Structure formats: C-alpha cells, structure tokens
Amino acid sequence: MKAAPDPRAVRDASLDELERLGLPLPPPSFPLVWEPGDGIELRPVAELEARAAVLHVVVACCFGFPTEAAMSWLLNSKIVDWVTPPEWQFVAGDVGDHRSFVLHHDAVFALAWLLGLSRHLDPTAPPEPQMMTRMPDLPGNELFNDWRSRVLPAPRDAVDAAVLLDLYYCLDWAFQEAERTGAPLPGEVDSNAIGQRRWALEWAVIFTGPYHEGPPEWEEVDLSV
C-alpha cells in the first residue's frame, strides 16, 4: 500500500485532457475518486490475470467459442471461482444480453494494460489488434497457468493506474454527455468502450481511507456516478 497522489492535481490534469480532446467538462460538483491521505494499491496480479482470462472466455463465447470447450477450459484452468453468476449463465447456457458481454472486450483491454500486456489505453483508439495474442490461446487449449508462464506480466504502478482511473472516470461522463448532445467524439471508440475500461480500472484499483469500503466484487462496481 502506498499514498495516493494529490486528487485535485490529478483531476486538473484529467480536465486538461478532456479539453484537449474537445470533450465537455463535468460540473464543478463532479466528485473526486479519492481523497487526500488515502492509500492505494492494485489487486494482486493473480486476481487481475484471472479476471482478464474469464472475460476473455466470455467474449470468445460471444464469437462462437463452443460452450463445452469454454466450460472445460474454465474447469481445467481451476478458475471457475472467478466466474460471476451472470457470466456462468451466459457461458453455460447462453443466458443474458449478448451485446453487453461483447463489450467486455474493452474491459479485457484495460486489464491487459494493467498487467503490462498492452502498451496503451488510449481513449481515442480501439484495443491493439495484437492484444489477442497476449491472451490465452483458447482454441489451442492453453490453460490458465500455461498462459501466465508465457506472458510474464509486468503490472503497472498503482499510482499510474489511479491517474488513468480518474481520467476514465471523467471520460465516462464526457463521452455520455457528448453522445447525448450530438457533439463529436474524439476518436474511434464510444461511451460503451469507455465505460468498460473504467469498470476494469474501478475494480482493479483499491483505495483505503475513511470514505472507502472494501474492494467491490466485479458485479458490484458502481458505474452510475
């Protein structure tokens, strides 16, 4: 655990980036993500890897990866405990909103960035095409531990992750506002992609302090504010 950076200075930098991108700015009352004096850390690498791998399987099922193969991979990789109930219902029985699960591709992108498997998390650009080669080879039945040994993650510093989280917190509001008013977006991604990346960052970055509860489960992350 280390000290979180000055939240106001980070917010000022985030607002400068929104201005550079030509996006609307949130109101002055828009809350900070953390407070002065809070502590910060990333979830353990194994947890980041497990969440990325599960979402990778979920997205693969959206594009035709067979149900039996997906369930077998999760069981043989011993990460079934990391699958949330909605994810399991989708993988095992194709129950749920197919479109919402497809969007998790951008959450995987953010987790890959946190693990050092992606070079950037540019809010104007889609995921790197080569990102898929850095995820488990599901058709080749590359199990979870084999994948971990192959990619050798180099996780980002927690402070860098928090700075990006604040930016994506502001971007989430700005992209939705731009779409609501018909203003142009600055690149090739929309508010859905921004929201997915924020979801991953919100889950991965853990703050401690008087205004923070324990870290949320994946399905408990609150993106309403």
pLDDT digits (tens, 9 = 90+) for 177-218: 999 999 999 999 999 999 999 999 999 999 999 989 989 999
Q: Does the residue 163 lie in any domain? A: yes
Angle at 193 between CA 185 and CA 64, to 5 degrees: 135
pLDDT of residue 132: 87
**What are the tokens at 93?**
């029985």
Q: Does the residue 37 lie in any domain? A: no
pLDDT digits (tens, 9 = 90+) for 71-88: 999 999 999 999 999 999
d(CA 121, CA 167): 11
pLDDT digits (tens, 9 = 90+) for 87-134: 999 999 888 888 899 999 999 999 999 999 999 999 999 998 888 899
Distances (CA, A) of 16 to 11, 85, 108, 175: 9, 40, 27, 15
What H or E segment, with its residue span, contains residue 205?
strand 205-208
pLDDT of residue 139: 95
Which of helix, strand or coil describes residue 129?
helix
pLDDT of residue 130: 87
Identify the domain containing residue 173 by its residue range: 2-28+157-206
CA dihedral angle for residue 208, residue 211, residue 216, residue 221, rounded to 10 degrees: -130
**147 plus 170 within the same structural domain:** no
Query: Which residues 6+ apart lie within 8 Å of 6 measured at CB?
Result: 36
pLDDT digits (tens, 9 = 90+) for 18-43: 999 999 999 999 999 999 999 999 99
pLDDT of residue 94: 83
Q: Does the residue 130 lie in any domain? A: yes
Distances (CA, A) of 1 to 46, 115, 122, 154, 199: 17, 18, 27, 18, 21
**97 plus 180 within the same structural domain:** no
**109 plus 191 within the same structural domain:** no
d(CA 140, CA 129): 19
Question: What is the number of other CB atoms lying within 10 angstroms of the CB of residue 134?
Answer: 17
